[in-house]
């Protein structure tokens, strides 16, 4: 079945540095990918919708300059957390839809645990 | 706006017990409905889905029926196993809308 690969699975960085998270669709092309942040007690927050070849669409309250999203190819989207701070520590998950239909299921990466010290 | 409400957890059951996790939704039109499962330390996986009223989605012994009249999509399993311990998310997507809307998730613990 469709596989979404997310890397790294865990990253620890110092406050003020930037971290890049990659999300790849391994056996399908994804014109749209979604980035989520998962908070304690498991609730998922959609951060942005990543569109291949165009600018990402950010949800209200998500800082575009802090969470840079690039979707340069049909199989790769990246999320860069710039000037990370401890409050950015979280579990970040990407996903992609297989197929063009609005109700095609999402396939998720295994997430990235970011810890900012 | 569109929303999904699911029962708060954690839900703790003994092995072989019957499971119900309630999910209700608010949406105009005819959304498609999903259940996703997240095992510890992993991303989410699709468990089952239903795209129109009265459809029943099923997978791995889990079932959920799309009830338009009660705007519900409750998840059920007749006999749970320890390996079913996970977080379960109910979700919907509206026609012609890219965004999938998730409930807050229900953590399930199954005791041996």
What does A43-72 look like in DSSP terms, one character per residue? -EEEEEEEETTS--EEPTT--TTTEEEEEE
Farthest-apart Cα atoms in chain A, separation: 41
Q: In chain B, which residues touch A (CB < 8 A)?
A: 32, 34, 36, 38, 41-46, 49, 51, 87, 89, 93-100, 102, 104-105, 107
Q: How far apart are alpha carbons B102 and B112 in whole angstroms?
A: 29
The answer to whether residues B4 and B21 touch, using CB atoms and an 8 Å cutoff, is no
Contact at CB, A108 and B34, closer than 8 angstroms: no
Which ranges of chain A have pLDDT less than 50?
none
Chain B residues within 8 A of A105 when measuring between CB atoms: 34, 46, 49
Helices then strands, counting H and E runs in chain A, come out as 0, 11
Q: How far apart are alpha carbons A2 and A24 in whole angstroms?
A: 11
* Burial class for A72, CB neighbours closer than 10 Å (0-12, 13-18, 19+): exposed
Chain B residues within 8 A of A106 when measuring between CB atoms: 36, 44, 46, 100
Closest chain B C-alpha to A14 CA, distance in angstroms:
23
Per-residue pLDDT at B64:
98
Contact at CB, B104 and A41, closer than 8 angstroms: yes
Q: How far apart are alpha carbons B87 and A52 in whole angstroms?
A: 31
> What number of other Cβ atoms are within 10 A of residue B23's Cβ?
25
The answer to whether residues A56 and A65 touch, using CB atoms and an 8 Å cutoff, is no
Q: How far apart are alpha carbons A42 and A31 in whole angstroms?
A: 27
Per-residue pLDDT at B98:
64
Which ranges of chain B have pLDDT less than 50?
none
Q: How far apart are alpha carbons A13 and A19 in whole angstroms?
A: 7
How many Cβ contacts (< 8 angstroms) between chains A and B? 56
Q: Which pair of structure tokens corresponds to residue B110?
A: 């199954």
Q: How far apart are alpha carbons A50 and A31 in whole angstroms?
A: 8
Per-residue pLDDT at B30:
84
A80: closest CA among A89, A67, A90?
A67
């Amino acid at each position: 079945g469709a596989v979404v690969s997310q890397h790294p699975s865990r990253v620890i960085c110092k406050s003020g540095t930037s971290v890049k998270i990659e999300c790849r669709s391994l056996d399908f092309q994804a014109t749209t990918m979604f980035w989520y942040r998962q908070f304690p007690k498991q609730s998922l927050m959609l951060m942005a919708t990543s569109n291949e070849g165009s600018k990402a669409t950010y949800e209200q309250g998500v800082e575009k300059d802090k969470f840079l999203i690039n979707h340069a190819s049909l199989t790769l989207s990246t999320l860069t957390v710039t000037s990370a701070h401890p409050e950015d520590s979280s579990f970040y998950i990407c996903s992609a839809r297989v197929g063009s239909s609005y109700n095609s299921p999402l396939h998720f990466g295994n997430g990235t645990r970011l810890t900012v010290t | 706006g569109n929303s999904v409400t699911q029962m708060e957890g954690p839900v703790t059951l003994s092995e072989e017990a019957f499971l119900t996790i309630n999910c209700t939704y608010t949406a105009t039109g005819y959304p498609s409905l999903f259940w996703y499962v997240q095992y510890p330390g992993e991303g989410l996986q699709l468990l089952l889905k239903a795209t129109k009223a009265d459809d029943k989605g099923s997978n791995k012994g889990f079932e959920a029926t799309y009830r338009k009249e009660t705007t519900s999509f409750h998840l059920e399993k007749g006999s749970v196993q320890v390996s079913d311990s996970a977080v379960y998310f109910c979700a919907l997507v509206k026609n012609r809308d890219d965004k999938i809307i998730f409930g807050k998730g229900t953590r399930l613990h199954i005791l041996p």
